[in-house]
Structure 1
Amino acid sequence: MDKSAAREAAFIRRKAAHRPDAATAGYLSEVLAGYRGVPLAGYMPMRTEIDPLPAMAEAAAHGPVGVPIIMARATPLRFRLWEPDCALIEGAFGARIPESGDWMVPQILIVPLVAFTRAGGRLGYGGGFYDRTLEQLRAAQPTMAIGFAYAAQEDPDLPLEPTDQPLDLIVTEQGIITP
């Protein structure tokens, strides 16, 4: 299966699993509680992505939390400090981003997924932003990548490439998977 077909199938599974009003970040909160104060970055959920904001808000009470900013195509992401009630504006690709704030460098990155494997493989949207970013961060310091997704997004047969950065942990609404 090629990546576009895998993405199409994964989007269908994710849409069917999406529960926008459900409390789905409990296991993510549990994981992050073990890293209080460690700089981390999450993401502002779009469309049918699982929502990390409750866990990010808890983490922000103990240390710096950022969200990704797309600077340009084919470049690594940068991260701006985020707090639960900060003013947001629309960024690239419709993602909500803080209107202003300082830049930060995360040591933990909560990564949105289109699909994942139990071995830590990740299928994203195809822009390579997270792969470039993780490669850059990991070259400078130890950086943990936590994939956050619905359990239904698991796919054992993803078409992965050598440039795909692996996930260190996968968290779903149903539990924690250690590759």
Structure 2
Amino acid sequence: MADAKKELRAAAIERRKSAFELHGPEASRRIAAHGLDFLGASAGAVVSGFAAIRDEINPAPLMTWLRAEGFRLALPVMQGRGKPLLMRSWAPGDAMSPAAWGIAEPLDDKPHVDPDVVLVPLLAFDARGYRIGYGGGYYDRTLQRLRKLKPVVAIGLAYDEQRVDAVPVESYDERLDWVLTPSGPLHCLDS
């Protein structure tokens, strides 16, 4: 299983890089234009995004729109290897600190929140809602922790080109409920 994931991860990195070169920032704007209306979530809900690195789709335009619509925002903070991410309140323009891999994180003075919606970066996804990330398991542990507390919706943000037929799955892998691509939201189904 580990070898299958490693092979898929390597191919997915190249596929995402090509999609980024093809679509550039326009992909982020198209995702923001879709918004999260398909969820029926109400203003005041907490949405956790992420600070994009490398050729990930940048959720910043979507987050800015959500803030204007009355949603509360958060970003993840790493707590260490093998631990779930901690989500801290965040708003566009807040000061950030650099962390591992050049990821920007909210400062320690921002309060911890448990989001209602988690936007998830990924390298590849399938129609069932399984994803391949960088291999650290941070989002799997985070979603598992949050889902023990309350209903949480996990939405992967991806280029359409990142979809694959099937992602190899292990017992600890957490499913996405939706994937939002530039061409629209995809509801993930058991199959």
TM-score normalised over the length of structure 2:
0.88
Q: CA deviation at 1:164?
A: 0.6
Give the residue type in structure 1 aligned to 2:15. Answer: R
Q: CA deviation at 1:23?
A: 4.5
Give the residue type in structure 2 aligned to 1:88. Answer: M
Q: CA deviation at 1:156?
A: 0.9
Identity %: 36
Ranges in structure 2 where 5+ consecutive residues have no aligned partner: none
CA distance in 1, matches of 2:29, 2:115: 20
Q: CA RMSD in A?
A: 1.5
Partner of 1:59: 66
Partner of 2:26: 22
CA distance in 2, matches of 1:120, 1:3: 15
1:79 equivalent among 78, 87, 95? 87
CA distance in 2, matches of 1:141, 1:29: 28
Give the residue type in structure 1 aligned to 2:48. Answer: A
CA distance in 2, matches of 1:117, 1:13: 14
Give the residue type in structure 1 aligned to 2:129. Answer: G
CA distance in 2, matches of 1:88, 1:29: 26
CA distance in 2, matches of 1:20, 1:97: 23
CA distance in 2, matches of 1:17, 1:164: 25
Partner of 2:137: 128
1:21–1:56 CA distance, 2 compared to 1 (3 A)? same
CA distance in 1, matches of 2:71, 2:127: 29
Question: What SS does structure 2 have at the residue aligned with 1:165?
Answer: coil
CA distance in 1, matches of 2:44, 2:118: 14
Partner of 1:48: 55
Q: Is the 8 A contact 1:108 1:143 kept in 2?
A: yes
Q: CA deviation at 1:31?
A: 4.1
Looking at secondary structure, tell me which structure has more helix per residue. 2
Count of aligned residue pairs for this structure pair: 179
Q: Is the 8 A contact 1:28 1:171 kept in 2?
A: no
Q: CA deviation at 1:29?
A: 5.0
Question: What SS does structure 1 have at the residue aligned with 2:26?
Answer: coil
TM-score normalised over the length of structure 1:
0.93
